C-alpha cells in the first residue's frame, strides 16, 4: 500500500496569516483568545525572540514586543481544511484526515508512480493558499516523516528506518515533558530511540512507548480511516418577524428541530453535535454547540438538549433569526432502545448534563479516572459521558457485582502544614494542641516525577488519642496532613 501525506506545518498559524494577508510581520504570535489568552503557535522569528507555546499572551508579548498577535479562529480553520480535503478528493477518493493540517491519501489502484501522484496532489492543492508538503511512503508515520524531511520525498519500501533516523523525537507527537525526559537520557533522534532494546524501553516508559519505538523503526500499524463525505443538515428561520418571549424562541426552535429531524430520518443518520446560531436585532450573533454523548435522531431528545442549553442565555434585543445545523453524523437513524423500566434513561441523563453545564459551567460534569500504584493512587478527571453500552440493554448485565469487602475510605483534606513531634523518627505527637499518637504505620516512601523535580515524601497512617485516623506525610523536613480515614 502506498500512502501520500499532505501536511501543512503550523496549519492554524498559516490560516491566521492567510486571513491577515496585509500583515507581513515575520514575528507573529497565534493566541487562542485575546483576553487572558495563551500562545498556541508562533513564527520562527517570534520563537527566536523567546516566545514559547503555552505562554500567556502577556508573557509572549513581553518576550517579543514587536510581534503581531493573531487570534485563532477554529471555525475558519475547520472550513479551510474541509476545502483542502475536497480538493484532494480529485487525487484519491480515500482520504484519512488525521488532524487539521495532516491528511493521508490511499493511492492503491490509482495509475502512475509516486512522483506522478505527488505532482497531481500539488496541482489539486494549487488553489489553496497554504504551503503544503507532500510525502509518500508505505505507512502513515513514514509518509508524514517523508513530508517533513523535504517536500516531495518518496520513501521506498525497506528504507523507512533510514529515513526517519535523523528526525528528532518531537516528531512522535508526545508531550514536551516526555521529550525532555528522553533528552535527559541522551535520546534526541529517532535513530537513537530505535537503537534501544524494545522490551526494557516499553517497560520503563509504559504502553505508549511501544508505538514510539515502532515508529522510530519506521513501523506504523495505525489503520487508515477514510473520512466520510460531509453531509450538511441544517434548517434556518429568518425574516419572519422577531421574537421577544422565551416561548416564541422555543416554538421556532421546535420547528427547526422538526425540519432537521425530518432530514436525519430521511438519510438514516444520527447527530452527535448540534450548532444553534441566534441573530438579534442589534446585530449580536450567539453561537451554541450542543454535544450529544450518544448520537441520536430522536426529535424530543434533540429539542430538550438544545432547550436546556438555551435556558441559561439572555439577550439584549429581540431575536430575528435562528439557524440549526446537525454535524458529526453517524449512520443508523434513531437508536432502538431496549431499556427496561429500572434502567437509566439516557435522554434524562443528557438533559441533566446539559443543564448542569449550563448552570455550573463545563467543568461541572466530570468522572474520575484512576491510575497509579497501591500506596499512592493518583486520579484525574474527564468529562462524564454515559457508557455507550447502556444504550444496548440492561446495565445490570454489564457491570460486575460489587466486591464484598468494604475497604477504609480516605477523605482528602486541604494539605496544610502541621506540628509533629517525633520520637525515634516516628510521629509521637501530632497537631496543635498536640495529641498523642496511639499507633502509627509507615513510612511509605512516595517518589513522584523523579525525572523533573524530585518530590519525595514519607507517608504515615496515625491513630490519635481521640480515636481519629489520619494520613500525614513528611516532605523536606516538614509535616503535612493529607487526609482522614472516614
Nearer CB in complex with another protein: 175/466: 466
Which residues, other chains included, contact 371 with Cβ-Cβ below 8 Å and sequence gap of 6+?
A: 377, 378, 379, 380
384: contact with another protein by CB under 8 A: yes
343: contact with another protein by CB under 8 A: yes
Using the rule CB under 8 A, give the single segment among 5-13, 190-198, 291-299, 364-372 that binds another protein.
364-372
Cα–Cα dist 480/483, whole Å: 10
467: contact with another protein by CB under 8 A: yes
294 CB neighbour count, 10 Å cutoff: 19
Q: Is the distance from CB of 56 to CB of 36 less than 8 angstroms? A: yes
Using the rule CB under 8 A, give the single segment among 4-12, 40-48, 164-172, 397-405 that binds another protein.
397-405
> And the C-alpha cell for 199?
522490551
Among 76, 435, 443, 480, binds another protein (CB under 8 A): 443
Among 52, 396, 436, 478, binds another protein (CB under 8 A): 396
Q: Is the distance from CB of 420 to CB of 470 less than 8 angstroms? A: no
The site that binds another protein (CB under 8 A) totals a number of residues, namely 60
Antiparallel, parallel or unpaired: β 68-71 and 28-31 = parallel
313: contact with another protein by CB under 8 A: no
335: contact with another protein by CB under 8 A: no
Nearer CB in complex with another protein: 238/379: 379
Cα–Cα dist 419/439, whole Å: 17
Using the rule CB under 8 A, give the single segment among 67-75, 210-218, 274-282, 467-475 that binds another protein.
467-475
Quote the least distance from Cβ 484 to another protein, whole Å. 4
Closest CA to 448 of 358, 354, 371: 371
> And the C-alpha cell for 162?
533510514
413: contact with another protein by CB under 8 A: yes
399: contact with another protein by CB under 8 A: yes
Cα–Cα dist 250/286, whole Å: 16
Quote the least distance from Cβ 269 to another protein, whole Å. 25
Quote the least distance from Cβ 351 to another protein, whole Å. 6
Strand ranges (DSSP E) for 10-108?
Answer: 28-31, 39-42, 68-71, 95-99, 102-106
Nearer CB in complex with another protein: 262/364: 364
Nearer CB in complex with another protein: 324/464: 464
Quote the least distance from Cβ 439 to another protein, whole Å. 6
Using the rule CB under 8 A, give the single segment among 27-35, 65-73, 330-338, 436-444 that binds another protein.
436-444
Cα–Cα dist 372/51, whole Å: 35
| Exposure letters 42-73 (e unless 16+ CB within 10 A, then b) | bbeebbebebeeebebeebbebbeebbbbbbe
Nearer CB in complex with another protein: 174/349: 349
Nearer CB in complex with another protein: 69/469: 469
| Exposure letters 414-426 (e unless 16+ CB within 10 A, then b) | eeeebebeeeeee
Antiparallel, parallel or unpaired: β 153-154 and 133-137 = parallel
184: contact with another protein by CB under 8 A: no
Closest CA to 252 of 290, 303, 308: 303
Among 150, 336, 401, 423, binds another protein (CB under 8 A): 401
Quote the least distance from Cβ 466 to another protein, whole Å. 8
Quote the least distance from Cβ 37 to another protein, whole Å. 24
21: contact with another protein by CB under 8 A: no
First to last CA, the chain: 59
Quote the least distance from Cβ 447 to another protein, whole Å. 16
409: contact with another protein by CB under 8 A: yes
Quote the least distance from Cβ 255 to another protein, whole Å. 26
Nearer CB in complex with another protein: 281/345: 345
Residue 442 Rama label (left phi>0; alpha psi -120 to 50; beta): left
Q: What is the footprint of another protein within residues 87-146 (CB under 8 A)?
A: none
Nearer CB in complex with another protein: 24/363: 363
Nearer CB in complex with another protein: 12/457: 457
Closest CA to 179 of 23, 53, 15, 367: 53
Cα–Cα dist 39/287, whole Å: 24
Q: Is the distance from CB of 53 to CB of 10 less than 8 angstroms? A: no
* Residues lying near another protein in the complex (CB under 8 A): 342-345, 348-349, 351-353, 355-356, 359-360, 363-370, 372, 377-379, 381, 384, 386-387, 395-396, 399, 401-403, 405-414, 439-443, 461, 463, 467-470, 483-486
Amino acid at each position: 500500500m502506498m500512502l501520500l501525506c499532505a501536511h501543512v506545518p503550523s496549519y492554524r498559524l498559516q490560516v491566521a496569516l492567510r486571513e491577515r494577508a496585509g500583515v507581513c510581520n515575520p514575528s507573529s504570535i497565534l493566541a487562542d483568545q485575546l483576553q487572558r489568552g495563551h500562545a498556541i503557535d508562533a513564527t520562527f522569528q517570534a520563537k527566536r525572540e523567546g516566545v514559547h507555546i503555552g505562554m500567556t499572551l502577556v508573557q509572549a508579548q513581553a518576550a517579543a514586543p514587536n510581534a503581531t498577535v493573531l487570534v485563532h479562529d477554529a471555525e475558519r480553520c475547520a472550513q479551510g481544511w474541509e476545502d483542502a480535503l475536497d480538493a484532494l478528493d480529485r487525487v484519491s477518493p480515500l482520504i484519512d484526515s488525521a488532524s487539521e493540517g495532516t491528511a493521508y491519501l490511499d493511492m492503491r489502484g490509482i495509475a502512475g508512480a509516486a512522483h506522478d501522484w505527488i505532482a497531481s496532489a500539488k496541482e489539486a492543492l494549487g488553489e489553496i493558499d497554504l504551503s503544503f508538503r507532500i510525502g509518500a511512503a508505505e505507512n502513515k508515520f513514514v509518509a508524514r516523516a517523508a513530508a517533513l524531511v523535504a517536500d516531495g520525498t518518496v520513501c521506498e519500501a525497506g528504507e523507512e528506518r533510514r529515513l526517519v533516523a535523523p528526525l528528532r523525537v518531537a516528531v512522535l507527537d508526545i508531550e514536551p515533558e516526555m521529550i525532555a525526559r528522553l533528552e535527559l537520557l541522551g535520546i534526541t533522534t529517532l535513530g537513537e530511540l530505535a537503537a534501544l532494546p524494545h522490551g526494557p524501553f516499553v517497560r520503563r516508559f509504559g504502553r505508549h512507548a511501544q508505538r514510539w519505538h515502532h515508529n522510530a523503526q519506521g513501523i506504523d500499524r495505525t489503520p487508515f480511516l477514510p473520512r466520510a463525505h460531509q453531509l450538511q443538515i441544517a434548517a434556518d428561520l429568518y425574516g419572519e418577524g422577531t421574537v421577544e418571549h422565551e416561548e416564541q424562541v422555543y416554538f421556532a426552535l421546535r420547528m427547526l428541530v422538526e425540519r432537521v429531524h425530518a432530514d436525519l430520518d430521511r438519510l438514516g443518520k444520527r447527530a452527535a453535535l448540534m450548532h444553534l446560531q441566534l441573530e438579534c436585532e442589534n446585530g449580536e450573533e450567539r453561537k451554541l454547540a450542543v454535544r450529544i454523548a450518544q448520537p441520536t435522531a430522536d426529535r424530543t431528545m434533540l429539542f430538550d438538549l438544545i432547550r436546556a442549553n438555551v435556558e441559561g442565555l439572555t439577550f439584549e434585543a429581540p431575536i430575528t433569526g435562528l439557524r440549526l445545523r446537525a454535524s458529526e453524523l453517524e449512520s443508523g437513524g434513531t437508536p432502538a432502545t431496549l431499556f427496561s423500566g429500572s434502567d437509566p434513561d439516557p435522554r434524562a441523563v443528557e438533559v441533566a448534563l446539559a443543564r448542569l453545564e449550563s448552570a455550573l459551567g463545563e467543568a461541572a460534569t466530570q468522572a474520575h479516572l484512576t491510575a497509579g500504584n497501591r500506596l499512592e493512587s493518583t486520579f484525574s478527571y474527564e468529562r462524564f459521558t454515559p457508557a455507550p453500552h447502556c444504550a444496548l440493554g440492561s446495565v445490570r448485565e454489564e457491570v460486575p457485582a460489587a466486591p464484598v469487602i468494604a475497604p477504609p475510605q480516605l477523605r482528602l483534606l486541604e494539605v496544610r502544614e502541621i506540628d509533629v513531634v517525633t520520637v525515634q523518627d516516628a510521629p509521637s505527637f501530632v497537631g496543635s494542641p498536640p495529641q498523642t499518637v496511639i499507633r502509627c504505620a509507615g513510612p511509605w516512601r512516595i517518589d513522584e516525577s523523579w525525572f523533573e523535580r524530585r518530590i519525595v515524601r514519607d507517608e504515615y497512617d496515625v491513630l490519635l488519642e481521640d480515636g481519629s485516623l489520619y494520613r500525614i506525610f513528611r516532605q523536606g523536613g516538614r509535616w503535612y496532613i493529607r487526609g482522614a480515614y472516614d
